[in-house]
Chains A and B, each alone.
Chain A
Amino acid sequence: MSSLLKASNVESYIGLYTILHDVNLEINKGEAVALLGRNGAGKTTFLKTLMNLVSTRKGSIELEGRSIVGVPTHKIAKMGIGYVPEDYGVFDALTIEENLRVAMWKEDKETLERVDSVLDLFPDLKVAYKRMASTLSGGQRQMLSISRALVNENRIILIDEPSKGLAPVVIEKLAHALKAISKDATVLLVEQNFAMACAVADKYYIISEGRTVNNGDIKDLMQNKELQHKHLGVM
């Protein structure tokens, strides 16, 4: 089976600093992959590199065999990548409805049906549909951001640390929703919260100091306390 997303020997930089040195990763259609690693390892930068929000210096990134290195961000998104950034990237001056509409490429029946089914996952949003996003809580923002990545027929969803800064109750809700989402969609999930990653993903990659150092089945990682301790700081 050919891979949906394949990154080989990716090196990228912000300003003068090289952040990623050698990242290799492959995701097949339908998989849910967790990208793990300590703070500052380069996980967020890798997602930004995929979106070309951070420039790639070396290496190749392919989406279904087509190179996306150097392609403008909006075209990458249009090729079918949904992106949920670390800080949610919610538009405060817009209502929830408008946030979703900005994201929609078409407002046809099919899309609107998809939006309905997404909102079924997050009843909180449905209730507050006409409210300004500036009034939302952190958890609701995260839900909105994830929904926004789902309104189009994307090939893959990139989610950056959805559990960060949220209360355990909210994390539980999110994990539940993400599990449901990953059933149908291909997901690349950056996580610090190992429990969350285990709940959602079936495969993992570990990134350390800008390099992918380990990968495999997440069930194996659950058993391997030593590896967890070394790269994730899990006690």
Chain B
Amino acid sequence: MDIFITLVINGLAQGALLFLLASGLSIILGLMGVVNFTHGTLFIWGGYVYIWIFTLTDSFLLGILAAVGVTFLMGVFFEKFFVSRVYGNVPAQILITLGLQVIFTDLVRLIWGATPLTIGRPDFLADTWIVGGIVIVQYRVFLIAVGVIVAFGIHLLLNKTKIGMIVRAGVQRPDMVRALGININTYFTFVFAGGAALAGLGGALYAPLVGSMASTAGMHNQVLAFIVVVVGGMGSFMGSAGGSVLLGLMGSGIAWFAPGFASVANVGLMAIVLAFKPSGLFGLAVKK
């Protein structure tokens, strides 16, 4: 039973991180039809910027804000100057985002070196609680809280604001949104940069969890996020939330009971979903 609770907490924390990465990816895919390969590099940039600022200022909050800010600006830069040139052209999008991923990942190595940087957890989250004999890692609980808050925030943004309405409308019919007098390109930039900032936040929170950041973490987490998107249903925000939690829980369970099979299990789950429910487990997205 103790193990069970620990595993659930681990899984949810993992799921929260995945969600930060996958939700942006999914909305970008849904709204702009862009298979975005820059997400992985934004993730490690978030991590490296956080480590850099945190070691300079010793402030967790400043580190997080810097990570989110830098990746947001990177998102604006990527979208305005590169991705916006190739809307509707899938192969070009894949190549251009991949090229940016390669460049910016190597830039990380140029700036911060090729060896991983280590980082501890901030003091106020470094402890554990012991409740009825169960060891609960504070930082993991914090991650879950962040995940829930962000999910709730995005939910409100999408469903209660006019921006959200326009984004949801644009996912289905971007041409019609334009024909109603709305400059959807501005929203494209906003959503892309927002997704980028979420990926950056994910990276910044990931580094203290595992204790280090490596430039190779980008592609690995990117593929995981893609798996979440496929499992959850493309372009569906709820789907990426559900998919993240599912993958996180499954991952922590398997890591305990059958270590070594984690990645196979993720991919296996995706295979099953693809074979039996290609629209995704939580496929609420408008099919068109």
Q: Which residues in A have some Cβ–Cβ distance to B below 8 Å? A: 51, 53, 72-75, 77-78, 83, 85, 89, 91-94, 98-99, 101-103, 105, 134, 148, 152
Question: Mind listing 22 A-B residue pairs with CB under 8 Å?
Answer: A51-B179, A53-B175, A53-B178, A53-B179, A72-B183, A74-B179, A74-B183, A74-B184, A75-B183, A77-B178, A77-B182, A83-B179, A85-B179, A89-B179, A93-B169, A94-B169, A101-B162, A101-B165, A102-B165, A102-B169, A103-B180, A148-B180
Contacts of B271 in A (CB 8 A): none
* Of the residues A51, A74, A93, A134, contact of B182 by C-beta under 8 Å: A74
Q: Are A77 and B180 in contact (CB under 8 A)?
A: yes
Contacts of B177 in A (CB 8 A): 102
Contacts of B165 in A (CB 8 A): 94, 98, 101-102
- Residue of chain A at shortest CB distance from B284: A93
- Chain B nearest CB: distance from A145 CB in Å? 9
User: Within 8 Å of chain A (Cβ to Cβ): is B277?
Assistant: no
Interface secondary structure of B, over-half rule: helix
Contacts of A94 in B (CB 8 A): 165, 168-169
- Residue of chain A at shortest CB distance from B175: A53
Determine the distance from Cα of A101 to Cα of B163 in the docked complex, in whole angstroms: 11
Q: Are B176 and A85 in contact (CB under 8 A)?
A: yes
Contacts of A91 in B (CB 8 A): 168-169, 172-173, 176
Residues of B in contact (CB 8 Å), total: 19
Q: Are A105 and B181 in contact (CB under 8 A)?
A: yes
User: Within 8 Å of chain A (Cβ to Cβ): is B171?
Assistant: yes
Known contacts A92-B286, A93-B286; is-contact A74 B168 (Cβ 8 Å) = no
- Residue of chain A at shortest CB distance from B159: A98
Contacts of B178 in A (CB 8 A): 53, 72-74, 77
* Binary contact track B134-171/A, C-beta < 8 Å → 1, others 0: 00000000000000000000000000001001101101
Contacts of A92 in B (CB 8 A): 172, 286
* Binary contact track B253-288/A, C-beta < 8 Å → 1, others 0: 000000000000000000000000000000000100
- Residue of chain B at shortest CB distance from A154: B181
Interface centre among A72, A89, A105, A148 (most CB of B within 10 A): A89
Known contacts A93-B286, A98-B165, A102-B165; is-contact A77 B173 (Cβ 8 Å) = no
Determine the distance from Cα of A51 to Cα of B175 in the docked complex, in whole angstroms: 10
Contacts of A85 in B (CB 8 A): 176, 179
Contacts of B181 in A (CB 8 A): 74-75, 77-78, 103, 105, 152
- Chain B nearest CB: distance from A84 CB in Å? 9
Q: Are B175 and A73 in contact (CB under 8 A)?
A: yes
Contacts of A72 in B (CB 8 A): 178, 183
* Binary contact track B183-194/A, C-beta < 8 Å → 1, others 0: 110000000000
Contacts of B183 in A (CB 8 A): 72, 74-75
Give the 7 A-B residue pairs with the shortest CB-CB distance, closest first.
A77-B181, A89-B176, A73-B178, A91-B169, A78-B181, A83-B179, A74-B183
Determine the distance from Cα of A92 to Cα of B181 in the docked complex, in whole angstroms: 19
Determine the distance from Cα of A124 to Cα of B122 in the docked complex, in whole angstroms: 58
Determine the distance from Cα of A89 to Cα of B168 in the docked complex, in whole angstroms: 13
Contacts of B182 in A (CB 8 A): 74, 77, 102
Determine the distance from Cα of A98 to Cα of B163 in the docked complex, in whole angstroms: 11
Determine the distance from Cα of A14 to Cα of B177 in the docked complex, in whole angstroms: 20
* Binary contact track B89-103/A, C-beta < 8 Å → 1, others 0: 000000000000000
- Residue of chain A at shortest CB distance from B158: A93
Determine the distance from Cα of A55 to Cα of B162 in the docked complex, in whole angstroms: 30
Determine the distance from Cα of A74 to Cα of B165 in the docked complex, in whole angstroms: 17
- Chain B nearest CB: distance from A11 CB in Å? 21
Contacts of B173 in A (CB 8 A): 89, 91
Beyond contacts A75-B181, A102-B180, A103-B180: 16 other A-B pairs, Cβ-Cβ < 8 A, are: A73-B179, A74-B179, A74-B180, A74-B181, A74-B182, A77-B180, A85-B176, A91-B173, A92-B172, A93-B171, A93-B172, A94-B169, A98-B165, A102-B162, A102-B177, A148-B180
Determine the distance from Cα of A51 to Cα of B176 in the docked complex, in whole angstroms: 10
- Chain B nearest CB: distance from A133 CB in Å? 10
Determine the distance from Cα of A50 to Cα of B245 in the docked complex, in whole angstroms: 47
Determine the distance from Cα of A148 to Cα of B179 in the docked complex, in whole angstroms: 11
Contacts of A98 in B (CB 8 A): 165, 169
Determine the distance from Cα of A92 to Cα of B172 in the docked complex, in whole angstroms: 8
Interface centre among B166, B177, B178 (most CB of A within 10 A): B178
